Amino acid sequence: MLPLFAVAVLGANAYAKDPRIEEQLNASPPKIPLKYALGEKAFDKAMRSGKYYYVGNTKCRLCHRKFFLGRKKDPHDYAMKSLKEGGYDDNPKCLPCHSTGYGVPNGFKSMKETPRLANVQCEGCHGPGNRHVKIARKTKKGGGFLAGADNPKVLERMCKSCHTERWNRSYTDFHTAYKKYKNADPNKKKKIKTAGK
C-alpha cells in the first residue's frame, strides 16, 4: 500500500513500472462487474428481459447537473486516459474496470464504436439507466436501477468487483470511500445532504 502522495510523486514513470499491469495481463480475464455484483442468475435474467440498456452520462446530466459536474473531477471519469497512456485502451483484460458496461449487452465495446461509454461513468456504478430515466420522467422519483441507491449491497459489490485486492490502493477504508459517493462531488470534503439536481 503506497500513500497517495508517493503515487503522485512517482508520476508517469510509475505507470511503466507498475507491476500490477503485467500481473493483470497474465491473469485470467477479469470479472464483468455487473455480473459479479448481481450474481450470474440475476444478471442473466435481467439481460434476457431486454429491459436494460446504457444511455450514457449526458442523459443523466439533464436532471443531475451537480452530480455530473462533480463526477467530472473524479478519477473514475478519466479511467480510460490511464489505459490510453500505456496503449491498453482496447485490451479486454483492462476494459471491464476502466469503462462503462464492457462485457454487458449494450455496454462499452470500443473507443471507435461506443466512445460515449468510455470511463467509469454513472452507469458504471449504478448499472444501465434507461428504466430509471423512464420512471423518473413519469413519477419524478428514483428507482429502476440494478445497482441503485435503493440496493447498497449490490452497489458495494460493484465497487469491489473493480477494487479487487490488486487494485485497492486508492483508499484504506472502504466504507468511508463508499459514503463519499453519496455526494454530488465525491472529492469535496463537506458532505452535501441533498441529492441536488
Contact 125, 148 (CB under 8 A): no
CA distance 182 to 71: 11
| Least distance (Å) between residue 179 CB and ligand HEC | 7
| Least distance (Å) between residue 74 CB and ligand HEC | 7
CB-hemisphere CA count at 13 Å for 32? 16
What burial class does residue 157 get, using C-beta atoms within 10 Å of its C-beta: 0-12 exposed, 13-18 middle, 19+ buried? middle
Whichever of 47 and 83 has its CB closer to ligand HEC, that residue is: 83
List residues binding ligand HEC (CB under 6 A).
7, 14-15, 18, 21, 24-25, 30, 33, 55, 57, 59-60, 62-64, 67-68, 71, 75-76, 78-79, 82-83, 86, 88, 91, 93-94, 96-98, 120, 122-126, 129, 132-133, 136-137, 140-143, 145, 148-150, 152, 155, 158-159, 162-164, 167-171, 177-178, 181-182, 195
Whichever of 137 and 188 has its CB closer to ligand HEC, that residue is: 137
The amino acid that residue 101 corresponds to is G
Non-local (6+) Cβ contacts of 78 within 8 A are 119
CA distance 161 to 30: 9
Residue closest to ligand HEC when measured from CB atoms: 129
C-alpha cell, 74: 473524479
| Least distance (Å) between residue 49 CB and ligand HEC | 18
